[in-house]
Amino acid sequence: MNYKNAKDIFPPELLKEIQKYVQGERVYIPQLENVRTNWGKKSGSRLEITFRNNEIMKKYKEGLSMDELAELFCLSGESIRKIVYRNTREVNYNKEGD
């Protein structure tokens, strides 16, 4: 979470009102429910994991074993199996829906 100075964000009259309740402390201001972003979207984590999983699937289709993939991507064998099986299931499901 990034720290932002309130005096750089809020108009002076709003800042004075907030200072009636809290001064010199960190305050978390939650997002409105209707503007929440999905996990990892803002930070880019979701995109990185999707890219990594696509690379795992590409190398799996090229013939690398799950143990080799686990070593290459620094993941457990169980994590690799989940990624491979989930992606294989999604591909098969999408083929049936065509």
pLDDT at 39 > cutoff 60: yes
Which of these, 78, 84, 38, 33, lies nearest to 59 by C-alpha position?
84
Are 46 and 40 a contacting pair, CB within 8 Å?
yes
pLDDT band at 42 (very low <50, low <70, confident <90, very high): confident
Mean pLDDT of 27-51: 81
For residues 69 and 89, the model is more confident at 69
CB atoms within 10 A of CB 17: 11
Mean pLDDT of 26-36: 80
Mean pLDDT of 55-62: 95
Mean pLDDT of the chain: 87
Q: What pLDDT is attached to residue 61? A: 94
Q: Where are the alpha helices (DSSP H) in the chain?
A: 6-9, 12-19, 45-61, 66-73, 77-97
